[in-house]
Chain A
Amino acid sequence: MHLHKYEKIWLAFGIGSLILFLVIVGINAFVTGHQPPSSDKTVDPQVVGEIAPFNKPGLKKIGKNEYQLVVLTSAFSFDVGTQDKVVEIPKGAKVHIIATTKDVVHGFEIAGTNANMMLEPGHISETTQTFREEGEFTLLCNEYCGSGHHLMHAKIKVVDQS
């Protein structure tokens, strides 16, 4: 099959760009460690509320400016360990988020950050996010979970403690 000379140039340019994209995301994922959330841990969704760490949702300090945030979701709420559903995080903290759902599929998104993952019954989801900027971020459900889906939210307050 014959290809026009310009078509060869175009395909070389196009395929070259695709390879460039793959190399960039590949290095970022496999070398720098920024893989998309892909935790392999499982749990029984019926009793997950009694199993650690989901028996005590909320923020825990685990190192110097390093925290774990445990979140247990159910239709239509985020349990982040506080009554008012506000989590205060010190500015610059690196937060390891671990979350799952008791019932249906939910979405876990902290708007304006890269923390964005699916929560599925029986599976644990994990991601890490560093909060460099002060301010209020909305944690919301971004996967349809039923009639109250859009009412499912919490708040992340990044505060300067220095």
Chain B
Amino acid sequence: MEKDKEKTYKKDSLKGTLFSVLAVGGFILLSWFTVWSLFLSRI
């Protein structure tokens, strides 16, 4: 039952890649804005 629910991806799918790079991008945004807010708090 669990297996059926799980979506399957074709051989040439790059969905995993897309989600991986977007996670990387999210991490970059998060770090940048954290230090940016530190800068603003110290102005």
Report A-B touching, CB under 8 Å.
yes
Report A's interface with B, CB cutoff 8 A: 4, 6, 9-10, 13-14, 17, 21, 24, 34, 112-114, 130
Q: How many residues of B contact A (CB 8 A)?
A: 14
Give A130 to B22 CA distance when docked, in angstroms.
38
B26-41 contact mask (Cβ, 8 Å, vs A): 1 or 0: 0011001000100100
B29: which A residues are within 8 A, CB to CB? 17
Q: Which of B4-41 contact A (CB under 8 A)?
A: 14-15, 17-18, 21-22, 25, 28-29, 32, 36, 39
Contact B14 A14 (CB under 8 A): no
Summarize A's interface: helix, strand, loop or mixed: helix
Residues of B within 8 A of A24 (CB): 36
The interface of chain B, by Cβ under 8 A from chain A, is 14-15, 17-18, 21-22, 25, 28-29, 32, 36, 39, 42-43
Distance of A116 Cα from B25 Cα, bound (Å): 29
Decide: A17 and B28 in contact? CB cutoff 8 A: yes
Which residue from B18, B21, B43 sits with its C-beta under 8 Å from A34?
B43
Chain B hits for A21, CB < 8 A: 32
Cβ contacts under 8 Å, A9 to chain B: 18
Assess whether A114 is in contact with B32, with CB atoms less than 8 Å apart: no
